[in-house]
Amino acid sequence: MRPSFKNADRPLLCAMVQSETVDEAIAIIANSEYDGAESYGIQLENLRHDQRTEEHLKRLFAACKNRPIYVTCYRNSHSKGMTDDECAEYMLLAARCGATLVDVMGDLYCPDPIEITYNPEAVKKQERLIKKLHDMGAEVLISSHFHKFLDEETIVKIGKEQERRGADVCKMVSFATTEDELVADLKICHRLKKELNSKFLFLANGAHCKLLRQIGPMLGVCMWLCVQRYRPINSKEQPQLRATREMRNNMAWF
């Protein structure tokens, strides 16, 4: 039986893994385990195409030692230029190889600036893909990166639409470029907790994003996305794993 994000009884420390090769990714996973990782987020778009075989992915996922595995296949890095159908096939391969939670972009099959499409044909294709993933035993996350700050009503609407399409986890990434936007994002997080039935991952980028990323799970977010250490390839908005583990362990919030 696969480990689960959907059924986890508390927010997990998820170490994000970005690497061009499986061997390097396995090293990041090993270092992350030492620093307290409880799950892994493997950004498969960063793997070179020669690394994307069933054999390589099974070896990579085996290194996670039966901890939950979240995978993405975004349109950047070595996936730049792939069609959305090709990205979908890559996601299905990851599910066959043992990925726990598969990220389906909210604008898959119809790219949109805030990564959510309402195009009927694209939505139907997403729903068919989500059913295939569920039938394979995988959990599904639908993601929308807004690339800007959005108002509360728009974000709640997007979360509910992701949920309607079959998301086990709804992921939305806003912006917090000012303190006022940060406070608004914290309020939105609280509202998502009240109104969504699915688990959710609500994050922000921007100059004032760090607090939401650090305390979001105390307000209902289902996991921390962390980095084991900062490298040129990975996100500097994500908090460091060891620091987040210590913060969580020393706060009386459960």
Domains, the chain, with CATH or none: 11-99+222-254 (3.20.20.70), 106-118+140-220 (3.20.20.70)
Predicted confidence at residue 251, as pLDDT, reads 87
Tokens in use for 67? 């901890």
| Neighbouring C-beta atoms of residue 54, cutoff 10 Å | 11
Dihedral sign, Cα of residue 74, residue 76, residue 79, residue 85: positive
User: At residue 1, does pLDDT exceed 70?
Assistant: no
Give residue 198's pLDDT band: very low, low, confident or very high (50, 70, 90).
very high
Q: Answer for the pair 104, 142: CB distance below 8 angstroms, yes or no.
A: yes
Predicted confidence at residue 15, as pLDDT, reads 98
CA distance linking residue 41 with residue 68, whole number of Å? 9
Mean pLDDT is lowest, of 140-144, 175-179, 200-204, 247-251, for 247-251
47-88 tens-digit pLDDT:
999 999 999 999 999 999 999 999 999 999 999 999 999 999
Backbone angles phi, psi at 205, to 5 degrees: -115, 180
Tokens in use for 195? 């109104």
- Contacts of 153 by beta carbon, 8 Å cutoff, 6+ apart: none
Give residue 253's pLDDT band: very low, low, confident or very high (50, 70, 90).
low
Predicted confidence at residue 254, as pLDDT, reads 56
Predicted confidence at residue 21, as pLDDT, reads 98
- Contacts of 196 by beta carbon, 8 Å cutoff, 6+ apart: 159, 160, 163, 170
CA distance linking residue 39 with residue 189, whole number of Å? 22
Residue 196: which of 219, 224, 225, 176 has the closest Cα? 219
pTM over 0.95: yes
What percent of the chain shows pLDDT beyond 90? 96
Mean pLDDT over each residue of the chain, to the nearest integer: 97
Residue 100: which of 135, 61, 69 has the closest Cα? 69
Predicted confidence at residue 235, as pLDDT, reads 87
